[in-house]
A and B are shown apart, each in its own frame.
With several copies, the nearest count.
Chain A
Amino acid sequence: MFDKYLIDAASLRNTGPADAPTGFAFEARLGYYRGLGLSMIEKLDVSIDGNALPRAAVRFDEGGGPLTLEEMEAAYERRWPFGAPATILVDHAGGFPAGEHELALLQQLRVSYLPFPSINSDAKRVSLSA
Chain B
Amino acid sequence: MSKIQRGVSLYSFQEEMFLGQMSVEDVLAFASSIGAKGIEILPEQNMPTFPHIDDAEVARWQEMLARHGAHFTCYDMFLDTKLRKGETLSDAEQVESIRRDLVLCNRLGIRNMRVLIFVRPDILEKCVPYAEELDVHMGVEVHAPWHLEHAWILRTIDVADRLGTKHLGILPDMGVFMKHYPPEFRARFERQGARPEVAQFIVDQHEQKIMCEYTIYEVAVKMGGNKAEIAMAETLRHAPYANPKRIKDYAPWFRHIQAKFYGMTEDCTDPAIAYEDVIPELVKCGWEGTLSSEYEGNRWIQDVMPVDSREQVRRQHVMFERLIARAEAQREIV
- Give chain A's interface residues, CB within 8 Å of chain B: 1-2, 4-5, 29, 33-37, 39-40, 42, 73, 76, 79, 81-84, 110-113, 115-116
| With A35-B44, A35-B48: A115-B214 Cβ-Cβ less than 8 Å | yes
Residue from A1, A29, A39, A115 in contact with B217 in the complex, judged by beta carbons closer than 8 Å: A115
Minimum C-beta distance from B155 to chain A (A) = 17
Residue from A34, A36, A116 in contact with B42 in the complex, judged by beta carbons closer than 8 Å: A34
A40 touches B45 (CB 8 A): no
Residue from B48, B116, B214, B217 in contact with A84 in the complex, judged by beta carbons closer than 8 Å: B48
Minimum C-beta distance from B57 to chain A (A) = 14
Minimum C-beta distance from A45 to chain B (A) = 17
A interface SS class: loop
B85 touches A73 (CB 8 A): yes
A40 touches B19 (CB 8 A): no
Q: Whole-angstrom distance between the alpha carbons of A83 and B47 in the complex?
A: 11
B82 touches A112 (CB 8 A): yes
* Nearest B residue (CB) for A85: B20
Mask of B297-328 contacts with A, CB within 8 angstroms, 1/0: 01100110000000000000000000000000
Contacts of A5 in B (CB 8 A): 18-19
Q: Whole-angstrom distance between the alpha carbons of A102 and B186 in the complex?
A: 30
Interface residues on B, range: 20 to 34
B79 touches A112 (CB 8 A): yes
B48 touches A39 (CB 8 A): no
Contacts of A29 in B (CB 8 A): 18
| With A39-B83, A79-B50, A115-B217: A34-B45 Cβ-Cβ less than 8 Å | yes
B interface SS class: loop
| Known interface pairs A83-B19, A112-B82; 19 further A-B residue pairs with C-beta atoms within 8 A, sorted by A's residue number | A4-B303, A5-B19, A33-B11, A33-B42, A34-B44, A34-B78, A35-B45, A35-B48, A39-B84, A40-B80, A40-B83, A76-B84, A81-B48, A81-B50, A83-B20, A112-B81, A113-B116, A115-B222, A116-B217
Q: Whole-angstrom distance between the alpha carbons of A2 and B19 in the complex?
A: 10
* Nearest A residue (CB) for B18: A83
B73 within 8 A of A: no
B112 within 8 A of A: no
Question: Of residues 114 to 161 in B, which have CB atoms within 8 Å of A's CB atoms?
Answer: 116-118
Q: Whole-angstrom distance between the alpha carbons of A2 and B20 in the complex?
A: 13
A82 touches B79 (CB 8 A): no
Residue from A40, A76, A82, A112 in contact with B118 in the complex, judged by beta carbons closer than 8 Å: A112
A1 touches B298 (CB 8 A): yes
A110 touches B44 (CB 8 A): no
Mask of B1-40 contacts with A, CB within 8 angstroms, 1/0: 0000000000100100111100000000000000000000
B83 touches A35 (CB 8 A): no
B48 touches A1 (CB 8 A): no
Q: Whole-angstrom distance between the alpha carbons of A34 and B45 in the complex?
A: 4
Q: Whole-angstrom distance between the alpha carbons of A73 and B82 in the complex?
A: 11
15 chain-A/chain-B pairs, Cβ below 8 angstroms = A1-B299, A4-B302, A5-B18, A33-B14, A35-B45, A36-B44, A39-B84, A82-B44, A82-B46, A111-B82, A112-B82, A113-B78, A113-B117, A115-B217, A115-B218
